Amino acid sequence: MSKSLSIGCRIHREHAVGSCAACVKFVRTEVGREISGLMPAGGLLRASIVPHTTNLTFEGLASFSIENHARRLKATFAEVDFAWAIFNLDISANEHESGRYSPHVSPHWYGLVAGAQQRLLKSELDARYPSSEVIPNPVRLKPWDGRFRLFEYMFKSDFDRRVGVEASESFDKRTGRIRLSRNTRERDIRAGDRPKLLEFLDRIGVYGRIVVMRAQLRETRSGLRLVLMRQQSDAAVGQGNRGKAEITKFRDLRIWRND
Ligand SMILES: [Zn+2]
């Protein structure tokens, strides 16, 4: 959590507001610019991690602990090889058209991981976030292509209601067989649930949604900066040449850009 940060949009300059789309956009632009400007795309993995929270309702958001949720993510990464990572909380409302599972809210993580081996990280995360009927793919990792679009997924102010529909049959051209596919339709969050969601976003704040590991998000005169923590980056250097090259470049650029 990045509690000391408060800078927001033009209106909420001094105190960013969690439910303000412009504040979220401000942070998205700043973080996106920092990462795109300082890091080559190669070696960064985009990651989506969905913890099992099938009992959480919109009413339950009032007492939902984002700190505990983040603590579990951090505990997981404490046992994993990586250089640094940044995650932001995404929220979806999940339900099934014929009630195969009960409607629930899913606060999950979307972010970037640097200096990790995709296969290794995937198997370690898979062991900690098991799949279920509701969440068939709790862990998704993909090399980041360097496009800014990623930050639009990462820093969202508009959330979906995902309605699961019965498996449909389709013809698989590759195998020549009929296969069953699971489908989800995206809908708007129900009007009655919106106030509870906005209340939650205001309570945790824009920066309360962000988890930065082995790095730090700092507020400077010229905006937000992502800075690697020195002792952590030294430890991460031992992870192989690719990681080392990235970190060196990151730090050099950081010095060069210092104001
Ligand atoms: Zn704002």
Per the DSSP assignment, residues forming a β-bridge with 105 are 93
CA of 224 to the centre of ligand 1 (A): 15
Structure-token pair, residue 89: 């909380």
CA of 13 to the centre of ligand 1 (A): 7
Q: Name the pTM for this structure.
A: 0.83
**What rounded mean pLDDT belongs to the chain?**
85
CA of 25 to the centre of ligand 1 (A): 9
Give the model confidence (pLDDT) of 130-139 as tens digits: 998 888 899 9
Give the model confidence (pLDDT) of 193-238 as tens digits: 999 999 999 999 999 999 999 999 999 988 899 987 764 444 444 4
Classify the phi-psi angles of 101: left when phi > 0, otherwise alpha if psi is within -120 to 50, otherwise beta: beta
First vs last Cα of the chain: how many Å apart? 26
Tell which residue, 210, 151, 155, has the closest CA to residue 33: 151
Beta-carbon contacts of 104 under 8 Å, excluding residues fewer than 6 positions away, are: 53, 54, 55, 56, 57, 93, 94, 95, 134
CA of 123 to the centre of ligand 1 (A): 39
Distance of CA 228 to the CA centre of its chain: 18
CA of 198 to the centre of ligand 1 (A): 13
CA of 70 to the centre of ligand 1 (A): 24
Q: Furthest-apart CA pair in the chain: how many Å?
A: 61
CA of 167 to the centre of ligand 1 (A): 41
Give the model confidence (pLDDT) of 96-112 as tens digits: 999 989 999 999 999 99
Compute CA distances 167 → 10, 181, 187, whole Å: 46, 5, 18
Lowest mean pLDDT among 1-10, 103-112, 119-128: 1-10
Q: Where are the domains of the chain?
A: 21-159+190-257
Which burial class, exposed, middle or buried, applies to 173 when counting CB atoms under 10 A from its CB (0-12, 13-18, 19+)? exposed
